[in-house]
DNA sequence: GGTGCAGAGTACC
DNA sequence: GGTACTATGCACC
């Protein structure tokens, strides 16, 4: 499909009027004035960390318990890593939990516990790159940022880069670059209420992917993932889970986890190097308290 | 039963 | 500037 930017705006806004999704990290109000902080920045920070490469449905299940256990920056910063990782189990990519707590500690130390509003200050925090910094600025502070996220990417490819080839025929070329999308995102952005506009785009994107094949396949940024089964990733996740239960020696981990022995050892060494694990009394425990 | 895919960031080359 | 790496479960083919 190819549409005018004006018509595009109407389609997205009309959709949002009836299909806007409500989440615990989103403010319920539909109309919020600029500069008004209706979404608590800490809640946005936690949600964005969880939502990096993890489906919304799964984040929903874990989010409220996490917030209840760590209701603010100070609580998260001062918590033992083991508790943070336990609360994180099921979300995947434990490294993000490590980063999120690192960010909380840095925010407490450098910004008096207040989530910084500046883009540069945000990007300095561990686990927060360009996209998440912009998302936090848009969602927590309603700042008119220009950024790309997987649903946004799908929506713009769908509307502005022709129809997706249907059914049989050659595999569609992955030739849409993000730099081609950015001017369109900038042009169509609702600067009066960026937060709701981006909510609407993302809500539309998820709807789109239920009806069509993922338009983001045509992005040069789209990558197919390696198989999880038998991967080091799988071993790392299993090791963290086991050590959270109780201390294990390397041999115990190798025996109890039904995974390739070399992978388990590699996982333990890597996780120790990264600060997940430490050795105490010849056994591995979760480190970084 | 196998595959694609989540509101990406970091490390390393 | 590209590339590989990082969990987990579920919807969909």
**Percentage above 70 pLDDT, chain A:** 92
Q: Average pLDDT in the A200-214 region?
A: 96
pTM of the model: 0.94
Length of chain A: 289
The catalytic position among A48, A143, A149, A196 is A48
Q: Average pLDDT in the A243-248 region?
A: 98
**Helix, strand or coil, per DSSP, at residue A102:** helix
Protein CA A210 to sugar C1' B8 (Å): 22
Which residues lie below 8 Å from residue A91, measured CB to CB, with a gap of 6+?
A50, A54, A58, A59, A62, A97
Q: Average pLDDT in the A68-75 region?
A: 98
**Which of the four pLDDT bands, split at 50, 70 and 90, describes residue A80?**
very high
Strand C close residues, chain A 267-286, CB < 7 angstroms: 270
Query: Cα dist. A239→A211, A249, A263, A267 in Å?
Result: 38, 11, 10, 7
Cα of first residue to Cα of last residue in chain A, in angstroms, is: 53
E strand or H helix at A280 = strand A277-280
A12/A96 Cα distance (integer angstroms): 31
In this prediction, residue A172 carries a pLDDT of 65
Q: Average pLDDT in the A221-242 region?
A: 96
The residue extents of the domains of chain A are: 40-141, 232-280
In this prediction, residue A39 carries a pLDDT of 79
Q: Average pLDDT in the A169-187 region?
A: 86
Torsions phi, psi of A213, nearest 5?
A: -70, 145
A278/A110 Cα distance (integer angstroms): 27
**Which of the four pLDDT bands, split at 50, 70 and 90, describes residue A28?**
confident
Identify the residue whose Cα has the smallest distance to the C1' of B8.
A52
In this prediction, residue A167 carries a pLDDT of 41
- pLDDT at A33 exceeding the cut of 80: no
Contact A215, A204 (CB under 8 A): no
Protein CA A210 to sugar C1' C11 (Å): 10
- pLDDT at A168 exceeding the cut of 70: no
Protein CA A214 to sugar C1' B4 (Å): 9
Pick one of 1.10.340.30, 3.40.50.620, 2.60.40.10, 3.30.2320.50 as the CATH number of A40-141: 1.10.340.30
Does residue A48 carry a catalytic annotation? yes
Q: Which residue has the higher pLDDT, A165 or A43?
A: A43
A288/A83 Cα distance (integer angstroms): 11
- pLDDT at A189 exceeding the cut of 50: yes
Q: What is the mean pLDDT of chain A?
A: 93
**Which nucleotide C1' is nearest A51 CA?**
B7
Report the range of poorest mean pLDDT among A90-94, A172-176, A192-196: A172-176
A140/A34 Cα distance (integer angstroms): 11
Nearest to A133 by CA among A113, A117, A150, A110: A117
**Which nucleotide C1' is nearest A128 CA?**
B9
In this prediction, residue A174 carries a pLDDT of 84
- pLDDT at A166 exceeding the cut of 50: no
In this prediction, residue A29 carries a pLDDT of 63
Q: Which nucleotides of C are covered by protein (CB under 7 A)?
A: 5-12
In this prediction, residue A38 carries a pLDDT of 63
Protein CA A195 to sugar C1' C7 (Å): 29
Establish whether the CB of A55 is closer than 7 Å to any nucleic acid atom in strand C. yes
- pLDDT at A101 exceeding the cut of 80: yes
Establish whether the CB of A108 is closer than 7 Å to any nucleic acid atom in strand C. no
- pLDDT at A7 exceeding the cut of 70: yes
Count of Cβ atoms closer than 10 Å to residue A222 Cβ? 16
């Amino acid at each position: 499909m190819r549409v005018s930017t004006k018509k595009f705006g109407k389609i997205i806004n009309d959709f949002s009027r009836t299909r806007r999704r409500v989440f615990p990290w989103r403010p319920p109000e539909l109309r919020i004035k600029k500069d008004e902080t209706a979404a608590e920045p800490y809640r946005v920070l936690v949600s964005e960390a969880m939502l990096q490469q993890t489906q919304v449905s799964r984040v929903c299940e874990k989010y409220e318990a996490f917030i209840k256990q760590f209701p603010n920056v100070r609580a998260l910063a001062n918590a033992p890593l083991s508790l943070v990782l336990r609360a994180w189990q099921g979300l995947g990519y434990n490294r993000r939990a490590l980063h999120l707590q690192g960010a909380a500690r840095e925010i407490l130390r450098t910004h008096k516990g207040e989530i910084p509003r500046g883009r540069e200050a945000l990007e300095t925090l561990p686990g927060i790159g360009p996209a998440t910094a912009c998302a936090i600025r848009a969602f927590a502070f309603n700042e008119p940022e220009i950024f790309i996220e997987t649903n946004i990417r799908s929506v713009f490819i769908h509307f502005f880069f022709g129809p997706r080839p249907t059914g049989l025929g050659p595999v569609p070329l992955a030739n849409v670059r993000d730099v081609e999308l950015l001017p369109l995102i900038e042009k169509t952005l609702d600067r009066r209420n960026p937060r709701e506009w981006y909510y609407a785009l993302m809500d539309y994107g998820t709807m789109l992917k239920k009806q069509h094949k993922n338009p983001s396949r045509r992005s040069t940024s789209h990558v197919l993932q390696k198989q999880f089964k038998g991967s080091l990733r799988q071993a790392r996740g299993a090791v963290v889970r086991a050590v959270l239960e109780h201390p294990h020696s390397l041999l115990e981990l190798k025996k109890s986890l039904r995974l390739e022995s070399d992978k388990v050892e590699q996982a333990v060494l890597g996780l120790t190097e990264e600060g997940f694990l430490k050795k105490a009394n010849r056994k591995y425990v979760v480190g970084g308290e």
